[in-house]
Structure 1
Amino acid sequence: MDTENIYSACSWSPTRQEDCRYTSHVKIFYGVSNRGAWSLGSNLILKERSIEPPNFEAANLRFLTENTSIPIPKIVEEWQEDDGAYFMLTRRIQGLPLNEAWPTLSNADKDRIAKQTAEYLSQLREHQSIRRESLGGKPLYSAFLFPNGYGIGHGPLLSDDELWAEMSLALTNVPEEARQKLRQRMPTATPYTFSHCDLTNVNIVVNNGNLAGILDWKSSGYFPVWWEFTAAGIGLGQEDTEWKDLLRKFLPDHTEARNFWLDLFALRKYPKLNERGLTFLNSCGLSMPNQS
């Protein structure tokens, strides 16, 4: 009896692979939480996940295809299994993820790719809503804009007061004086603008020194007008930070909003504040409570 472990992703064991002349061109290349992505040869990508939100990528891709010229994956088919598993098959955008290509690109290439990305994203600003929501009036999900927990839906929201009420859920332990001062600094969120919100370098595909595609639209929707710029300031590693610093130079400037959000994000850890959080607290004339 074969007592080897069977790989759950493909149902084969090492012995089965060694005893077979078949070499698979179906490869899993991404997996996190309840999601996985497979390359099917060189032309197709298969994504598998649960039906739990946020799972709005197909609707968002169709919306973008109908209303923009942004280079995005083309849907071949999508379906749902009886057990709740969801699949989406798309055409692969030919090229390399920016995180792989970055070390080989010239500064001129990097500038061109950032400018091309920003130019395509400018098309999104034509698509606005009176509410902060996903397509179809569904909630949006962002653990950065709403740092009170992952996988929690928010909205639809109609006003800055409603937006603040949701954002400030992460600040329940912060002194009220500091909360009020931060609220006074929050720029108006309107017009709610369709935004990608996750322009990390792994979601940018490049080919021959040019932008070839923008991936991963599952959590996109109508966010505050300043959120695309602000989210592009969240670097996930050195090269991703370099990329986003460059990209922001070509996006509409919302530095004031970004600084507001950085202070909110720092205060969420109260009373265990970093230097930014302590600086903001001191600006309110407050000091840390005696924790001895």
Structure 2
Amino acid sequence: MQPSDIDDLSDQQLLELSKTAPRVHPDASPVRLTPGTVAKPSQDMDEDAPDAPEANALDLVFAETTIPVPRVRRVVKGQWDFLIVMDHIEGPTLAQVWPTLSVWRKLLTAFTLRRYIRQLRRLKAPAGTPPGPLSRQAQGPVARTCESPVFGQVQSHRGPFASYAELTAFFNERHHRALDAQGVPKEDPARQDLFDDSGPLVLTHQDLNLRNIIVGEEGRLYIIDWAWSGYYPPWFEYVAMKRQNEDEPISGTDDELWKALIPFICGPYFKQERWLLRVSQALYFI
């Protein structure tokens, strides 16, 4: 690993520095810690978390794929959370660059992101690993509260789920609850249309939008903000990306071509999206 300009700083110095460092963006939590690094607090939904799942995901992607991501330099335990210190990636976001690209360049960008997703889907959850945020391998499987746009905007976090079967059971129970509310007869075939758990749990980013992609040197596309990442069914990436790109303030663009490219990038999981739409009413309940 190449040296970093924080190598000679203690954990306590990094924590103190983070209190006064300027924000990278007014609406975002990361701060510019040093010329070569940024830092952000962990966003784990569970109190007393033993580590920082976002850092775990970044380490895994860095080690096992060719997807450009910020290199994690240090994870420091603070009073309430962890401080994740990582390399600063110089360059504009894809949201800033997208309007200047030709249609051909936009299509090439989609091909690149499609390759990234395919690499992520090769990172399958080890046997016995519960769905959701990643734990360090040495600690063994740890079930953690899951946060995902798939759960809806009203209650975006659920669990923890001890197993894939528990995640499936949660959604199927909400499916039956939604059909009951709609007055669907018990013998209706829709009752047998259940949660799609046919694919393995794979590493999923869940927040892919133009603001979370940095255009670095020589046009390399870096993926940032892995706070919602975890092991989920493959189709979660499609639904999450679709929802994150419905609104311009979140996505960074209202470009129809970008929206149309999402099924190509993540796979056309239209059936699963329609199923989730039918369930959405029951996801409003705690």
Bigger shift: 163-172 or 102-111? 163-172
What is the CA distance between 1:61 and its match in structure 2?
1.0
2:228 aligned partner: 219
What is the CA distance between 1:111 and its match in structure 2?
1.2
What is the alpha-carbon distance in structure 2 between the residues aligned to residue 170 and residue 196 of structure 1?
Answer: 29
2:15 aligned partner: none
Change (3 A) 1:228 1:49: closer
What is the alpha-carbon distance in structure 1 between the residues aligned to residue 133 and residue 43 of structure 2?
Answer: 18
Change (3 A) 1:264 1:139: same
Change (3 A) 1:251 1:110: same
What is the CA distance between 1:197 and its match in structure 2?
1.1
Higher helix share: 2
State whether structure 2 residue 69 is matched by structure 1 residue 60.
Answer: no
Match of 2:263 among 238, 241, 248: 248
Q: CA RMSD in A?
A: 3.4
Match of 1:146 among 148, 151, 158: 151
Query: What SS class does the counterpart of residue 29 from structure 1 fall into?
Result: coil
Contact 1:182 1:260 in 2 (8 A): no
1:38 aligned partner: 31
What is the alpha-carbon distance in structure 1 between the residues aligned to residue 54 and residue 94 of structure 2?
Answer: 21
What is the alpha-carbon distance in structure 2 between the residues aligned to residue 155 and residue 207 of structure 1?
Answer: 37
Contact 1:200 1:244 in 2 (8 A): no
What is the CA distance between 1:161 and its match in structure 2?
4.2
State whether structure 2 residue 169 is matched by structure 1 residue 162.
Answer: yes
State whether structure 2 residue 22 is matched by structure 1 residue 27.
Answer: yes
State whether structure 2 residue 272 is matched by structure 1 residue 257.
Answer: yes
Higher strand share: 1
Output one character per residue of 1:110-165: Cα deviation in whole Å (capped at 9) or x when no partner: 11111101102211121223543332333352343223613443313333742424
Change (3 A) 1:240 1:67: farther
Name the TM-score, length of structure 1 as normaliser: 0.70
Q: Percent identity?
A: 20
Larger Rg: 1
What is the alpha-carbon distance in structure 1 between the residues aligned to residue 177 and residue 213 of structure 2?
Answer: 31
What is the alpha-carbon distance in structure 2 between the residues aligned to residue 225 and residue 50 of structure 1?
Answer: 23
2:138 aligned partner: none
Change (3 A) 1:52 1:225: closer
What is the alpha-carbon distance in structure 1 between the residues aligned to residue 64 and residue 176 of structure 2?
Answer: 35
Query: What SS class does the counterpart of residue 266 from structure 2 fall into?
Result: coil
2:66 aligned partner: 69
What is the alpha-carbon distance in structure 2 between the residues aligned to residue 74 and residue 188 of structure 1?
Answer: 32
Give 1:97's aligned amino acid. T
What is the CA distance between 1:92 and its match in structure 2?
1.5
Change (3 A) 1:62 1:103: same
What is the alpha-carbon distance in structure 2 between the residues aligned to residue 167 and residue 29 of structure 1?
Answer: 40
Name the TM-score, length of structure 2 as normaliser: 0.71
Query: What SS class does the counterpart of residue 63 from structure 1 fall into?
Result: helix
1:98 aligned partner: 94
State whether structure 2 residue 53 is matched by structure 1 residue 80.
Answer: no
Contact 1:96 1:206 in 2 (8 A): yes
Change (3 A) 1:135 1:177: same
Query: What SS class does the counterpart of residue 28 from structure 1 fall into?
Result: coil
1:276 aligned partner: none
What is the alpha-carbon distance in structure 2 between the residues aligned to residue 170 and residue 241 of structure 1?
Answer: 36
What is the alpha-carbon distance in structure 2 between the residues aligned to residue 99 and residue 56 of structure 1?
Answer: 26
For structure 2, which runs of at least 5 residues remain unmatched after alignment?
A: 1-17, 136-140
Contact 2:172 2:194 in 1 (8 A): no
Query: What SS class does the counterpart of residue 127 from structure 1 fall into?
Result: coil
1:196 aligned partner: 205
